A and B are shown apart, each in its own frame.
Chain A
């Protein structure tokens, strides 16, 4: 087997908001073109980890960190690379789909237009490609200029994924991407996530253990800001090492809550 390259490494990472120590000695490694599922109770720090990876926490004036996050061989907090370049390469999908109050097309070209990645004449082709990758094209091809808010929530979430794809990220992080969706849309998004693995590396935060079982290659269990256990999916679910992990897999409950 080919040893995959590590695209993201989190090394002894700690984070604070003011006095509150929210991430404790986090160590993670993400293989390229894999799906990492992060599970854990709410408030355990799942979302915070992702927001550290694309430095979205930076705007919080009480945020402090210690440790390293290496993306593509460079420490993201030390590099001279501007933070928006990092965020272009590490896309993020939010829990509640966030479409701009614009048309579907306007949403799709939002990143392209602002990042000037290509000529304007190339936009329609890029939009079509991304919408097809997100399996949304057939549903919206005749109404591209309608308000994006007219889409169902599930479609909006796929629009967000398509929009993220337009700027060619190498990693896409998803923060409980299906928690606001109905079962049918959830299945659609999960299938989409599995397909996207060929193009990008994915991190999916979920509080749904079954979802992690269905989509993840590597599972990380976080509780109270600490990685309790992590490992290859089958190993993790069939043969968990820690008592807390067994308890959580069975009852979705953790002592640390």
Chain B
């Protein structure tokens, strides 16, 4: 009897081990494919020249700049809102039910499909606020989308600050605001930066929310005002794949994908490093 149980156990363990291998290999396969297919497109010209002939020739410098601009805008918009929300929830909101409700809302916000953010942005930012199809609208939409990610990261960092630091601050006679300024904020800074980078890494890769609110395929090099649209890396991939009749466009799509992947990975790796390096306890 014990024999069958052991066999069953072995079978079970092997099955889940296989799934583990499968899960990891999917990631590795994606990365390898993007690298192999993308590298042939990438050279200095590809990274520094603007696109020509509808992406079949030239490079992607305006897409790189556009993505960076839109992501920086998203950071400037989402950071203060997230920081304020996280501090209010952890330091001032004591009513357990209200706390629960606002937690749930933020959690649900995180689950809203990105295309819905796009639709919301189209109605609210593009039309209602009159921003038009512009990088500003895109930044606001992406910023809105990543707010939950940043809030959760900041809140986790704040809640993991040992109580003794707060109490030592209070016992020295620091007011609530001083405790926030000299204990809570500095000791949760790693969470702020990590959350922001993870949110931005996600924002940088999003296509759906910005493809009809912030971006155009061509006709713009760099935005020169707040109401100019931009071209970005993910939307560029989208448009290039639509035109897959020309083999060179597809190669450039892979090249763009590799650049985007590198950008996003870089942000994630920095985020992980900061979380590991600056957590003081």
Residues in A lying within 8 Å of B, measured CB to CB = 54, 56, 61, 82, 84-85, 87-89, 91-92, 94, 96, 98, 100-101, 110-111, 113-115, 160, 163-164, 167, 169
Contact in complex: A115, B174 (CB < 8 Å): yes
Give the chain B neighbours of A110 by CB distance below 8 A.
169, 172, 182
Contact in complex: A115, B173 (CB < 8 Å): yes
Contact in complex: A100, B94 (CB < 8 Å): no
A12 to B281, CA, bound (A): 41
Contact among B165, B175, B182, B187 with A98 in the assembled complex (CB-CB below 8 Å)? B165
A163 to B171, CA, bound (A): 11
Contact in complex: B280, A167 (CB < 8 Å): no
Give the chain B neighbours of A101 by CB distance below 8 A.
187, 280-281
7 CB-based A-B contacts, threshold 8 Å? A84-B178, A87-B170, A88-B172, A94-B171, A100-B183, A101-B281, A167-B173
Q: How far is the CB of B172 from chain A (nearest CB, A)?
A: 4
Q: How far is the CB of A149 from chain B (nearest CB, A)?
A: 10
Q: Which 7 A-B pairs have the closest CB atoms?
A: A88-B173, A92-B171, A111-B172, A98-B168, A84-B175, A98-B164, A101-B280
Chain B 112-165 residues near chain A, CB threshold 8 A: 164-165
Contact in complex: A114, B182 (CB < 8 Å): yes
Query: Who on chain B is nearest to A85 by CB?
Result: B173
A167 to B174, CA, bound (A): 10
Contact among A94, A96, A98, A111 with B173 in the assembled complex (CB-CB below 8 Å)? A111
Contact in complex: B172, A114 (CB < 8 Å): yes
Contact in complex: A111, B280 (CB < 8 Å): no
Any A CB within 8 A of the CB of B9: no
Contact in complex: A87, B172 (CB < 8 Å): yes
Any A CB within 8 A of the CB of B167: yes
Give the chain B neighbours of A100 by CB distance below 8 A.
165, 168, 183
A253 to B227, CA, bound (A): 77
Q: How many residues of B contact A (CB 8 A)?
A: 20
Query: Who on chain A is nearest to B182 by CB?
Result: A114
Q: How far is the CB of B175 from chain A (nearest CB, A)?
A: 4
A167 to B173, CA, bound (A): 8
Give the chain B neighbours of A89 by CB distance below 8 A.
173
Contact in complex: B170, A56 (CB < 8 Å): yes
Query: Who on chain A is nearest to B181 by CB?
Result: A114
Give the chain B neighbours of A160 by CB distance below 8 A.
168
Contact in complex: B178, A114 (CB < 8 Å): yes
Give the chain A neighbours of B172 by CB distance below 8 A.
87-88, 91, 110-111, 114-115, 163-164, 167
Contact in complex: B170, A91 (CB < 8 Å): no
Q: How far is the CB of B62 from chain A (nearest CB, A)?
A: 44
Question: Contacts A101-B280, A110-B182; is A84 near B173 (CB within 8 Å)?
Answer: yes
Q: Mark B244-281, 1 if CB is under 8 A from A, else 0.
A: 00000000000000000000000000000000000011
Give the chain B neighbours of A96 by CB distance below 8 A.
164
A92 to B280, CA, bound (A): 24
Give the chain A neighbours of B169 by CB distance below 8 A.
110, 114
Contact among A54, A113, A114 with B171 in the assembled complex (CB-CB below 8 Å)? A54
Q: How far is the CB of A8 from chain B (nearest CB, A)?
A: 16
Contact in complex: A111, B174 (CB < 8 Å): yes
Give the chain A neighbours of B170 by CB distance below 8 A.
56, 84, 87
Contact among B171, B182, B183, B187 with A87 in the assembled complex (CB-CB below 8 Å)? B171
Contact in complex: B164, A114 (CB < 8 Å): no
Contact in complex: B165, A84 (CB < 8 Å): no
Contact among A82, A167, A169 with B175 in the assembled complex (CB-CB below 8 Å)? A82
A163 to B181, CA, bound (A): 19
Query: Who on chain B is nearest to A86 by CB?
Result: B173
Most chain B CB neighbours (cut-off 10 Å) among A91, A92, A114, A167:
A114
A23 to B31, CA, bound (A): 63
A160 to B165, CA, bound (A): 12
Give the chain B neighbours of A94 by CB distance below 8 A.
164, 167-168, 171
A42 to B181, CA, bound (A): 35
Contact in complex: B174, A84 (CB < 8 Å): yes
Q: How far is the CB of A249 from chain B (nearest CB, A)?
A: 31
Give the chain A neighbours of B173 by CB distance below 8 A.
84-85, 87-89, 91, 111, 115, 167, 169
A12 to B169, CA, bound (A): 29
Q: How far is the CB of B242 from chain A (nearest CB, A)?
A: 53
Give the chain A neighbours of B281 by CB distance below 8 A.
101
Q: How far is the CB of A114 from chain B (nearest CB, A)?
A: 5
Give the chain A neighbours of B164 by CB distance below 8 A.
94, 96, 98
